[in-house]
Amino acid sequence: MSRGLSKLQHSILAILDAKHGMASTTTLKTAMDRPISDQSFYRSIHSLEKRGEIRFYRGGHTGGLVCRTHGNVLLIDSDAPPEPTPAFPNLALMKLSAYHKACGDYVTLLRGLKIADGFEKKFDIAYISCVFTKNARAARRLAKRLSTSMEVHLGGSGVDLKTTLPAEIENTFPDYELYPECDYSIGMTMRGCTRSCPFCIIKDKEGTSRPTGDIYAFYNPNFKSKKIVLLDNNILGLPAHFAKIASQIKKEGLRVDWNQGLDLRLVTPENAKILAGLHFSPYMRFAWDDIKSEPQIRRGIQILKENGALKNPAVFYVLSGFNSTFEEDLYRVKTLRDLGQKAFLMLYDKKLLEEPRYRHLSNWTNARVHFFTRTFEEFVTNRENGVEKQKAAERKQRLEAKKNPPPILHGCEISLI
């Protein structure tokens, strides 16, 4: 963009950038590090205008206004709740933001798909990211509406499995300022998966398993949390890469969360020893999707325990309602509880919640307070008798009392009682 510019033109652009993209000609000339003749100054201004680097509005008592030509970029995170929450930064948008900012563009993030009439007029280009299929229709509708006035790109696994970021954007260090509430590093060091589970899109979307980089492509040492979230799909399927990433995490003293889950069927005494040396936050995550994997699940837990890698209960995602009966789902959850592990029920079809037995199973499994303190049968009986409701009300009361403790009574007040 700036190739072939003279020293003077570079100075003009640098001053404009320092002044947030806008300055009068008088201000520009005063800010130069040496006196410049009007002739050279205006020649440079006209040449920059011709190149499309600036816009020059002539006139006024200040001689004219010079504005840096920037693109206005709108990034739309379809899946983000309206209120910022640290749990959901969108990595693709963070990379797009970094890339556009490096090009000198102005970037705005919109959370969710609600956009006021006319708001879009300010922007030259929009990127809409949609990860969850439940938001796909609304995201497509918005893309259609915006495309009448600007260039629009729609992507994300909710709408399309094939669109990827161009390599120069994919390899950009993410812009953490886009989500100020995110206080940890986030990224992925691999793509694809060695397996092709019938309910999963990864194999279709990313192909076979391969390393794509290391933590230094996105690790931000400035975060006090010392936490890194890795979106790797199945890193234990790449033993050498796993060992390399684990040693980087250890070297930097980080707490790690492989939040897509690790594959317990691939746990060996070798990788279990490495896992034992890592600090997990909040916990290790695995999945038990198919009842037929029971022997591998039991064996994996055993290996982890023998190698000191399971100091706290791990969380197991339990896929429910996909090629499995209710009884099989309940069996997996209860088995994990008996093995001292925590289950998290993932309903393949949310409509199953219309059935009371799935509702009970989901509520019992996914709440720590119920899962470890009562059996499923006790939970269901309590619910039917209204005991759970009463206990929930008592819990709420206790929490509120903790939040608003009664005032401390001083001697004089006590004597008044």
Q: Which residues bind ligand SF4 (CB under 6 A)?
A: 193, 195-197, 200, 202-203, 233-234, 263
Give the nearer residue to ligand SF4 in terms of CB position, either 120 or 206: 206
CB of 231 to ligand SF4, least distance (A): 11
CB of 287 to ligand SF4, least distance (A): 7
Give the nearer residue to ligand SF4 in terms of CB position, either 195 or 226: 195
Question: Residues near 319 by Cβ (< 8 Å), separated by ≥ 6?
Answer: 199, 287, 289, 290, 346, 348
Question: Residues near 66 by Cβ (< 8 Å), separated by ≥ 6?
Answer: 12, 16, 22, 23, 24, 25, 28, 45, 54, 55, 56, 57
CB of 209 to ligand SF4, least distance (A): 8
CB of 260 to ligand SF4, least distance (A): 7
Q: Which residues pair with 344 in a beta bridge?
A: 317
CB of 267 to ligand SF4, least distance (A): 13
CB of 389 to ligand SF4, least distance (A): 36
Q: Taking a C-beta distance cutoff of 8 angstroms, is the pair 291, 260 a contact?
A: no
Give the nearer residue to ligand SF4 in terms of CB position, either 155 or 237: 237
CB of 196 to ligand SF4, least distance (A): 6
Give the nearer residue to ligand SF4 in terms of CB position, either 194 or 382: 194
CB of 208 to ligand SF4, least distance (A): 10
CB of 233 to ligand SF4, least distance (A): 4
CB of 197 to ligand SF4, least distance (A): 3
Give the nearer residue to ligand SF4 in terms of CB position, either 96 or 319: 319
Give the nearer residue to ligand SF4 in terms of CB position, either 234 or 362: 234
Give the nearer residue to ligand SF4 in terms of CB position, either 48 or 193: 193
Give the nearer residue to ligand SF4 in terms of CB position, either 193 or 274: 193
Question: Residues near 261 by Cβ (< 8 Å), separated by ≥ 6?
Answer: 285, 286, 287, 317
Give the nearer residue to ligand SF4 in terms of CB position, either 120 or 257: 257
d(CA 301, CA 296): 9
Give the nearer residue to ligand SF4 in terms of CB position, either 75 or 287: 287
In angstroms, how far is the first alpha carbon of the chain from the final one?
78
